[in-house]
Amino acid sequence: MPQIKVLMSPLFALYHGTVPVADVIKAGRWDLVEDYYNDLKDAYIHGVEPVLPANIARKVSRLMMDLWSHIEARHRMETIYYFALIYEYLIIKITNPKVEELPEDIKSKIKEKLSLIKEVTLRGAIYRFEEVFDAVYDIVDILDMYAKYPHVRIAEYARKLIFFIDEKDECWTMYWSTRFFVRTTMVILGEEI
């Protein structure tokens, strides 16, 4: 894929438009969630969308529409999920990291764990967070054995996720589990989200 050239200030603005979402949702400030959505959309439309290939731009537009419908419906977890997903998806497309090539049976094991993580965190099911904790470590164990490349971001997201599971913080757990889910799906499994 050709290099996508995004300026530095739109990257800053994209992150600014996505990362505060867990805290503002925790505070029940849907007015601020809408402000951040507008900031994210502005940053995307003016700084990122014009340099993206058409297929990626179409996909992000669809994701933005999904995000807005969850904001309107006041769905807490889904809103965090889409904010985090859009950011992670974009930075992966922009930086184009090396993708692992793993055997199919290993990929299926990872996929199974990832769907458990997504299911539990989207429900905000704190009583099942121990299962998420185990699933994250199972994936890390598999990567320790099979990954050819160093996955620093996956390690950082996994660590953040474990921290917020320990804190029983459903909003930040949702945020970091999404970033972990998206990156692992795209960079380890080599699949689109």
Residue nearer to other proteins on the CB measure, 90 or 120 = 90
> Which amino acid appears at position 186 of this protein?
M
> Which amino acid appears at position 182 of this protein?
V
Question: Could you say which of 45, 99, 116, 147 contacts other proteins (CB under 8 A)?
Answer: 147
Question: Could you say which of 52, 84, 114, 154 contacts other proteins (CB under 8 A)?
Answer: 154
Q: Which residues of 110-149 are buried (b: 16+ CB within 10 A; e: fewer)?
A: beebbebbbebbbeeeeeebeebbebbeebbebbeeeeee
The dihedrals phi and psi of 38, each to the nearest 5 degrees, come to -65, -40
101 binds other proteins (CB under 8 A): no
Residue nearer to other proteins on the CB measure, 130 or 141 = 141
Give the per-residue contact string, 28-67, with other proteins (x = CB under 8 A; - = no): ----------------------------------------
2 binds other proteins (CB under 8 A): no
Q: d(Cα 96, Cα 29) in Å, to the nearest integer?
A: 35
The footprint of other proteins (CB under 8 A) covers: 3-9, 11-12, 14-16, 19, 91, 94-95, 140-141, 143-144, 147-152, 154-156, 158-159, 162
